[in-house]
Amino acid sequence: MPALPTLARHAGLAFLFVAAALAGTASGVLFAYSDDLPAISALDSYHPDTITRVLARDGTVAGEFAVERRVVLRYDEIPVLMRQAVLAAEDSGFFEHFGVSITGLVRAVVKNLVQMRKAGGASTLTQQLARKLFLTDEKTWERKAKELLLSIQIEKRYTKEEIFTLYCNQMYFGHGAYGVEAAAHLYFGKPVEALVVDEAAMIAGILQANVRQSPYVNPDAARRRRNYTLDRMAAEGFIPAAEATAAKARPIVTHGNPSRDNSFAPYYLEEVRKHLEAKYGAQQLYESGLTVRTPLDPRLQRIAARALDAGLRRVDKRRTGFRKAQPNVLRDGVTLATYRHERWARPLNAGDIVPALVTRVAAAGVSPGHAALRIGTLTAELTGAAFQWTRRTHAAQIVREGDLVDIELLAVDAGAATAEVRLEQTPLLEGAVVALENRTGHVLAMVGGYDFSRSKFNRATQALRQIGSTFKPILYTAAIDRGLTPATLLVDEPTSFDAGAGQPPYAPRNYDGRFEGPLTLRSALERSRNIPAVKVMEMLGPTQVVPYAARFGLPGALPPFLSSALGAGESTLLALASAYSAFPNHGVRMAPAQVLSVADREGVLLEEHAPEAHDALRADTAYVMTSLLRGVVQRGTAASAASLNWPLAGKTGTVNDYTDAWFVGFDPEITLGVWLGYDEKKPIGNGETGTTAALPIWIDIMRAYLEGRDREQPPTFEAPGNIVFVPVDRHSGEAVAVGTPQSIVEAFITGTQPSR
């Protein structure tokens, strides 16, 4: 028995001798490489590439621009739990060693020599940081020697807290995320300070192989590394063993997003990106960690995107029916059992429209003619009710095994892994939505098309389209300014106008082909009658009306022709919505603004938005026009919006041959515009007007938006002091006694009201 202590002493002495020999050898090697190393002092002014973050009006992150997704933290901003997880997983002796672990180095050298491997392993946090900042990942003895010397130099120059902070901000965690803060958002959709123990352990655990051990790529590997880290945290006394055991039993539930492009407002962010790149350059945009504040309203943005998607699908199905040409995964050599769609990796909730794989179709003639679907781990039956709109009675008439089809999840039973679905299809029709705050011009929401990944062309800001009858309020603004009133009598009758020498007469038509005879200016606008509008244009003279387009901010030069009364000119949706916002804003049009401020990574303000006001029309004229446009909603072509029971006003617009459908409307606080059409100028379909195609989308958006407003005390359109209210006959426009049947209380600018 006495031989054992003696043997242990001899082994210890041998270990020390080997360690001393290796240390001497290492010193010589390090000295040989000391002149071939980068200057550590460069870290004094080191600024890693950081994320430019775009913030919505509520302070939440709406999007990011970066080469490397990184948010730099101070040491005191790294939670203790995250520090402990990193130390346990990577270097528990970090605060005791001088940058190199002698025992770890000896073990690694012996292991590498015995196994005849290249130099690797036994790296402390400082060594990993030195390699990341100054060297490569090449496994050679030369690189290892340089890494050791750099680590010692770093430890001599910087405190442990400074080194640890650099490490936590610099290291790569997969999917473009650098640093623990970016990793927390990537995997769990929250800041690092909000992580619980198992989440912190997972992030620290995957440092060794990041992407290969990401829960998005290899959930089993991520779980193993997390559990290893939890065991190490317990072994180091950071957490109780019971807490580690409980944490290991929990599943890894990610709430982040491995894709950089899956923003809820991609068209909005692209407009912001173009502004930033033009003003600051690509390098500052993608590497300097700007903080950009915007007026984007996340709730309204999501409402608008959902409503446009649903509306485009509704019109597309109504006009084109079901298109059988579907992508089929079997053509690509993929089996039904192994196919995975990237969308299935994200949560699948009722109301979502997602791709589904057709796994089985009942044979033609077999009843019931259903098809089986798979959506990730969910299964569903495509029943007759789910595809009734296709006017087909059997699933075999529309789909085949292997087809990838769009479906709406009507209900999801997570326990049974089943779903109730309805067949959808990707629309070919395009559309756009814009929402502005009247008082400031702030762009609250913007959807530039059906799908940003399908087309990055922004139809809200880039598409110049004929605006149809949405121009009539601008025409009637000129008329009110020149003495006409809502009670002015016009005549809707067949009329032709001289178009000039050698030209056939210009004979405008009403959209319904009918004529209503004498009617007031109010009725002409509410019913969107074309002939009275052209008569007003002729009465005023096109050259008197055309300048109003510029005053309202419409782009381009409006042709001084009578046909311009019916919207022959072109505009973008953003410009048209901005023009309409002047009506509820007392005649002042605020220039649209998407960027409120820009600050650098130190918080120094680089840019701040200054409101830009433009006088479009007089306040009294603006109120009269608002009153007229309220009638469009109460009794006219937009009467279906009256069901919202809210102070609303607006105008529908339809272009010849039904190529474009518009509705732009407002309440006292916001202006909302909707456009539908094809990128190629062609008919949407017979009868697809602003009323039938665009207005329902507008109503859906406004209805959902109003759910968050105080419905008991709605805002009001305030009248200037020189507005008088007089009851007039609805048909003749003559002044009548209060309470007279078929009368309406009309708004007049003082001095223009009719007398009894």
Q: Catalytic positions, please?
A: 90, 469
| 3-state SS, one letter per residue, for 580-635 | HCCCCCCCEEECCECCCEEECCCCCEEEECCCCEEECCCHHHHHHHHHHHHHHHHC
Whether 492 and 532 have beta carbons less than 8 Å apart is answered as yes
Whether 683 and 658 have beta carbons less than 8 Å apart is answered as yes
Q: Go through 663-682 and write b for each residue having 16 or more CB atoms within 10 A of its CB, e for each that does not.
A: bbbbbbbbbbbbbbbeeeee
| Helices and strands: H and E segment counts in the chain | 20, 25
d(CA 566, CA 538): 12
Which residues are CB-neighbours of 297 under 8 A, at least 6 positions away?
Answer: 56, 57, 58, 435, 444, 445
Nearest to 312 by CA among 676, 749, 701: 676
Beta bridge partners of 281: none
Which residues are CB-neighbours of 455 under 8 A, at least 6 positions away?
Answer: 430, 449, 679
Beta bridge partners of 404: 357
Nearest to 596 by CA among 604, 588, 605, 587: 605
Whether 676 and 314 have beta carbons less than 8 Å apart is answered as no
Residue with tokens 């509820």, as numbered in its chain: 584
**Joined tokens for residue 355:** 């791709």
Q: Go through 445-481 and write b for each residue having 16 or more CB atoms within 10 A of its CB, e for each that does not.
A: bbbbbbebeeeeebbbbbbebbbbbbbbbbbbbbbbb
For β-strands 660-666 and 670-677, DSSP reports them as antiparallel
**Amino acid identity for residue 566 in this structure:** L
d(CA 405, CA 343): 13
Cα atoms in the 13 Å half-sphere on the side-chain side of 467: 32
